[in-house]
Amino acid sequence: MKIDVLEPDNPELNVAPLIDMVFLLLVYFMVTASLVKSEADLGIKLPGMLSQAESVDMADEQVIEVFSDGRVVLNGRTLDRPDRSHLPELTALLIRYRMASEATKNEALITIWAEDEARHQRVVDVMNACADADIKNVTFSNLGDE
């Protein structure tokens, strides 16, 4: 009696169903996965300025007067010397005003009133002080408009 011994055939692995299954799993995980919030979407409060607990009454705008003799007056207070083009006192006060306005969530507004005989260079010096204080809302008027 002769027993036939079957030699094992080389089994073939059909890859097409495996690839289909991988794509189905990929689609499943993409659909069911939740999106991660980006850092910009998170409400983060950085240290820095404190928010005001109560409202503070501040003037809506600061008035800078430029006179023909070179004096620069901020809300009735004469600042810096008339012969200097750099205005450090005015710049320091404007920086404090801008920071106070930002703390109260107001906009820093400056009005420059110049006499008709005031030198243009002095008005430019005041505008440079506003730029150094990073105040962008500057309007012009002359003292005759009152």
Domain assignment of residue 132, yes or no: yes
Does residue 81 fall inside a structural domain? yes
Strand arrangement of the beta sheet that strand 72-74 belongs to = 77-79, 72-74, 61-66, 109-114, 137-142
Q: What are the Cα distances from residue 49, in Å, to 52, 93, 108, 128, 135?
A: 9, 18, 16, 26, 18
Structural domain contains residue 20: no
Q: Which residue has the tokens 């004469």?
A: 78
| Per-residue pLDDT in tens (0 to 9) along the chain, 146 residues | 677 777 767 777 888 989 999 999 999 998 888 777 665 565 656 666 555 555 555 567 788 999 989 899 988 888 888 778 788 899 999 999 888 888 888 888 888 888 888 888 898 999 999 999 988 888 887 655 44
CA Rg value for the chain: 37
CA–CA gap between residue 100 and residue 128 (Å, rounded) = 20
The answer to whether 104 and 52 have CB atoms below 8 angstroms apart is: yes
127 in any annotated domain: yes
Query: Is the separation of the CB atoms in 135 and 110 below 8 Å?
Result: yes
Identify whether 83 is part of a domain. yes
CATH number for the domain that contains residue 71: 3.30.420
**52 in any annotated domain:** no
- The domain total for the chain is 1
Q: How many CB atoms lie within 10 A of CB 105?
A: 9
pLDDT of residue 46: 61
In a domain, 3, yes or no: no
SS3 131: helix
Burial (0-12, 13-18, 19+ Cβ within 10 Å), 40: exposed
Its domain, for residue 106, covers 61-145
Among 144, 132, 64, 50, residue whose Cα is nearest residue 98 = 132
| 51 belongs to a structural domain | no
